[in-house]
Structure 1
Amino acid sequence: MASLKLSLLFSLTLLLIISPHVSNSLPFSSYQTLFSLAHSLTSRVANLRASRGDLAGAARARSFAQKIRPGTSLGFWRFMLSAGWDYVRNYSWRDLGSVSDAWGIVSDLNELMRVVNDLTRFDSNADRAAWVQGNYKNVLRITKSLFRRLTKVFYQKGPLRELVQMLQKEVVEGELLRDCLELGSGDLKALIQIVKDIVLQYSPTSQNNEL
């Protein structure tokens, strides 16, 4: 198993190296952190759903958490390799979307960060739940806009587009975002920041620092 992980990691590294952005790319640890935070958050969502009797929702969250658990799941390493190849084949030769797409994604992420920051004012579960009840429609509006833009950027059929669509479905239909908000904003804020860094890294204007 260890040798297989090393082989897959080496293959992914090669895929990243041949990307035209390699000289300015984010460290691999940033992507590991992204998946670690996502795994932690979705695991907590699974426990939250189970505690209120939503066993089907808990199973979905737990299954997703297992797939993205860094370093321990063969499925995770397969996804990383396939996603890396998907990026090299379909997107490395061009910027990820138009300037307007990049601006829109960063704008949505900034707005989402401001809303999540507002949630940090509350410490108790009851206060957070009340805040979510009053603000969820606005948060969902921002998130739907973000996913619309991401599906325009990842327009080719493949694991990257499938990941975006899977998350979109779980957020819109499965209320994943509502559960994340009710759990608190720490991990969610960190996730938003890393996604923003990635978007800025691969946006059409990243080298000119226009965003």
Structure 2
Amino acid sequence: MAETSPRITLLYLLYLVVLSPPYPTEAFVSYTQITTILSLSHSLFTRVANLRASRGDFHGARRAQLIADKLEHVSGLRFWSNVWSMGWDYLKNYAWRDTMSFQDALGFASNIHELLSSLTQFGHLRSDSERAAWIARNYSNFFRISKSIFSRLSSVFSKSGPLKELVETLQKEMEGEFLKDCLQVGAGDLMGLVQILKDLASQYTDGHQEL
């Protein structure tokens, strides 16, 4: 029998860890979703960095640009290495544990749906004055929903590793002016990211309903 190539074996293991479902009815995340998340996140953080620099917030701009640079690095030559690292972290710490109760999952899905509805409403506004008025009326609730989402993610990804570090980095940035900056540069990239989260939450809840 022909000997199996180590490269093929490694890629097969990577598929099992990251792209195949940890439970028969529950998908984790696809290759397309990973690359889309990286692309949208890089675009969003780059635009936020440019916005902050334009208003003289060079410290905030540098922070956002560093995250954008890391995202570009992750999606470049070391893409599979970073995916492997996060996939192994997921497999080791989360795949075989029920890290989120069904009620919490429903709460997370509800938060995501509410956030996406707000972003859709914001995206339909055409003038700067309309967008400014919307932010003045709705930002506190928008921030509350986002904070709840990250609180749930923090409770899920609680084990030391790259997934926990990623959530903590984004949560720290979100607690500042990041969300407001995202709205100011336009809701398109953020809507794309939230839509992927909505799809993943639906996969999780649908899978658990079938179990």
TM class, shorter-length:
0.7 to 0.9
| Corresponding position of 2:187 | 185
Matched-pair contact (CA < 8 Å) for 1:66–1:73:
no
Matched-pair contact (CA < 8 Å) for 1:16–1:22:
no
- Counterpart of 1:34, as a letter, is I
Greater CA deviation, 119-128 or 100-109?
Answer: 119-128
- Counterpart of 2:139, as a letter, is Y
Matched-pair contact (CA < 8 Å) for 1:112–1:143:
yes
Q: Name the CA shift for 1:158/1:202 in 2 (closer, same or farther; >3 Å).
A: farther
| Corresponding position of 2:63 | 60
Largest Rg, 1 or 2: 2
Identity of aligned residues (%): 44
Q: Distance in 2 between matches of 1:122 and 1:169?
A: 29
Q: Does 1:121 align with 2:124?
A: yes
Q: Does 1:142 align with 2:145?
A: yes
TM-score, normalising length: structure 1: 0.84
Could you report, residue by residue, the CA deviation over 1:144-179 in whole angstroms, capped at 9, with x for unpaired residues?
Answer: 111111111112121111111111110012x11111
Name the Cα RMSD after superposition: 2.5
Q: Name the CA shift for 1:46/1:12 in 2 (closer, same or farther; >3 Å).
A: farther
Of the three residues 197, 201, 206, the one matched with 1:195 is 197
Moved over 6 A (4+): none
Structure 2: which 5+ residue stretches go unaligned?
1-6
Count of residues in Structure 1 that have an aligned counterpart in Structure 2? 201
Q: Distance in 2 between matches of 1:22 and 1:101?
A: 21
Structure 1: which 5+ residue stretches go unaligned?
1-5
Q: What's the offset of the Cα at 1:17?
A: 5.5
Matched-pair contact (CA < 8 Å) for 2:48–2:182:
yes
| Corresponding position of 1:72 | 76
Q: What's the offset of the Cα at 1:95?
A: 3.5
Q: Distance in 2 between matches of 1:153 and 1:73?
A: 29
Of the three residues 150, 154, 158, the one matched with 2:157 is 154
Q: Name the CA shift for 1:71/1:148 in 2 (closer, same or farther; >3 Å).
A: closer
SS of aligned partner of 1:13:
helix
Q: Name the CA shift for 1:64/1:98 in 2 (closer, same or farther; >3 Å).
A: same
Q: Name the CA shift for 1:117/1:17 in 2 (closer, same or farther; >3 Å).
A: closer
Q: What's the offset of the Cα at 1:19?
A: 5.0
Matched-pair contact (CA < 8 Å) for 2:158–2:164:
yes
| Corresponding position of 1:12 | 14
Matched-pair contact (CA < 8 Å) for 2:89–2:162:
yes
Q: Distance in 1 between matches of 2:19 and 2:199?
A: 19
Q: Distance in 1 between matches of 2:47 and 2:24?
A: 34
